[in-house]
Amino acid sequence: METKMLFKPITLGFVFTFGFQLNLAAQKPLNILIIQTDEHNPRMFGAAGDPFAITPNMDKLARQGVLFSNAYSQNPISVPSRMSMLTGKYSQTIKVYGNGDPLTMNFTTFADQFNKNGYRSAIIGKMHFKGKGDEQLHGFERPFGDSGSEIISGNWEKKQLDKLGQTLLSDRSPKLARVNDFPMEVHKDGGIVPYTKTFLSKNKENPFILICSFTRPHFPFEASDKYYEMYKGRVKLPIDFDSDKKNWSVSSQMENSKYKFDQLTKEEIIHAREVYYGMITWVDDQIGLILDELDRQGLKENTLIIYTADHGEMAGEHCLWYKNTFYEGSAGIPFIISCPKLFRGNQISKSVTGNIDIFPTICDAAGIQKPDGLEGKSLWPVLTGKESGNDRYIFSENYRGGIPGCMVCDQNWKYFVYQPCEKNMFTKEVFLYDMINDPNEMQNLANHAELKSVVENMEKRMSWWKPGKIIINDNETSAIYRFP
Ligand SMILES: [Ca+2]
């Protein structure tokens, strides 16, 4: 993908020691606002260098904060990614491997930790909690959103659509991407802004941690004509859309046999991407409304704002769609942290990070003690210029179709493996990409003899991962896989 910077950022590094040392104890408690989308390709917004994306609000947030250009989902599918974010722990630790696994109550979320310190914690929108009842709220209030087995309280979407005599697409295929002439606010995400306005107005005086969590730009691929028209005829194919399919992992081959990605025409790929971009811009507009409201209610200065997604969307890169792969489009996430009163904005950091680091980072930012056992690492020293963060690395796991996979990456290298399992016996697959010279991950270098030491180092880092002890509930097939 071509890149063009919309603004000239400062790159974070050791040379900068601009962090402001604040006496946090003397400050009013810091509010935390996390804006999360679902399935947002990390390269498809303006501040990330995308030449087509129209995302003025994400870009503005990046100008006011730090954009982390090497940020990853800890498991590129909804439930495990979200539970890793809330607990600061990896899938293997919390035993949430796929969308069928509920988070058990013995894990502390950041809501639990902040509540103990006098905060109000709430999620407005999606969080994909499993199970039923209040015990599945994990310390959060839910003014609006999915909870337990309910999809959306008040059946928001159906009511809106019934009034219009409309239905939304139920099929995920990019082949069916379509344009509507009714507003996108009828989607269940349409409730997020009004509920957020109400929440903010009721919590001006007490500290809060709020997650505004959008389901868009998750498929089905459907945008209103207003947003589609912004992209019609402008969007190109991803440069690696037809990369050598022999390089697909067994896991991606399984996805392709189910969803027939390789049968999409170039025209269908471009059309689906135009619609997908439209969905991103609609979400961006919603983010703008939330940030404006924060400002209008006088809360912006004392609020640390994070923008992230639970995982990406391949959107045709590597001839793949959706997620569940370790390629950048799927395992990568957009990741911005902004709080101008605490650290300087308009910076890009190459420090490797991900949603698992949010828990310790917001504890440090708010001056709240971190619980023991967090597996995420605080970004506070990076944000405040005390550390370069250049030596950081991070993991991602995935168990799609019952095939255990694990990725580790640093700024230079991405390494991932897939292990054979009882359902699919194959030779262990290994992938190594040079992320500096091959950012589109076109050449697998895992078997190059001169890079043996790189592979060995990555394997050593990955030694904590024990797929042989995992029992996977892959809810898409309702199957439970046990490993020897
Ligand atoms: Ca998701």
Residue 399 within any structural domain of the chain: no
CA–centroid distance, residue 385 to ligand 1 (Å):
32
CA–centroid distance, residue 288 to ligand 1 (Å):
22
Residue 339 within any structural domain of the chain: yes
Residue 85 within any structural domain of the chain: yes
Instruction: Give every strand in the sheet of 120-125, ordered side by side.
Output: 10-11, 347-354, 66-72, 335-338, 303-309, 31-37, 208-213, 120-125, 141-145
Q: How many domains does the chain have?
A: 1
How confident is the model at residue 149, as a pLDDT? Answer: 42
Residue 242 within any structural domain of the chain: yes
Global pTM value: 0.92
Select from 9, 73, 64, 87 the least CA-distant residue to 42.
Answer: 73
CA–centroid distance, residue 392 to ligand 1 (Å):
25
CA–centroid distance, residue 333 to ligand 1 (Å):
11
State percent of the chain over pLDDT 70.
87
Residue 38 within any structural domain of the chain: yes
DSSP string, 235-281: ----TTTT--GGG--HHHHHHHHHH-GGG--HHHHHHHHHHHHHHHH
Residue 43 within any structural domain of the chain: yes
Local confidence band at 131 (pLDDT 50, 70, 90 cut-offs): low
CA–centroid distance, residue 239 to ligand 1 (Å):
25
Q: What is the pLDDT of residues 384-427, one digit of tens each?
A: 999 999 999 999 999 988 889 999 999 999 999 999 877 667 88
How confident is the model at residue 2, as a pLDDT? Answer: 33
How confident is the model at residue 300, as a pLDDT? Answer: 97
How confident is the model at residue 4, as a pLDDT? Answer: 38
Q: Which residues surround ligand 1, an ion (CB under 5 A)?
A: 38, 78, 310
Local confidence band at 246 (pLDDT 50, 70, 90 cut-offs): confident
Mean pLDDT of 136-161: 71
Range of the domain at 105: 12-392
CATH code: domain of residue 103:
3.40.720.10
Q: At what angle are helices 56-64 and 266-296 packed, to 10 degrees?
A: 60
Residue 115 within any structural domain of the chain: yes
The pLDDT mean for the chain works out to 89
Say whether pLDDT at 331 is over 90: yes
CA–centroid distance, residue 95 to ligand 1 (Å):
18
Local confidence band at 483 (pLDDT 50, 70, 90 cut-offs): very low
Residue 33 within any structural domain of the chain: yes
Mean pLDDT of 260-275: 96
CA–centroid distance, residue 446 to ligand 1 (Å):
29
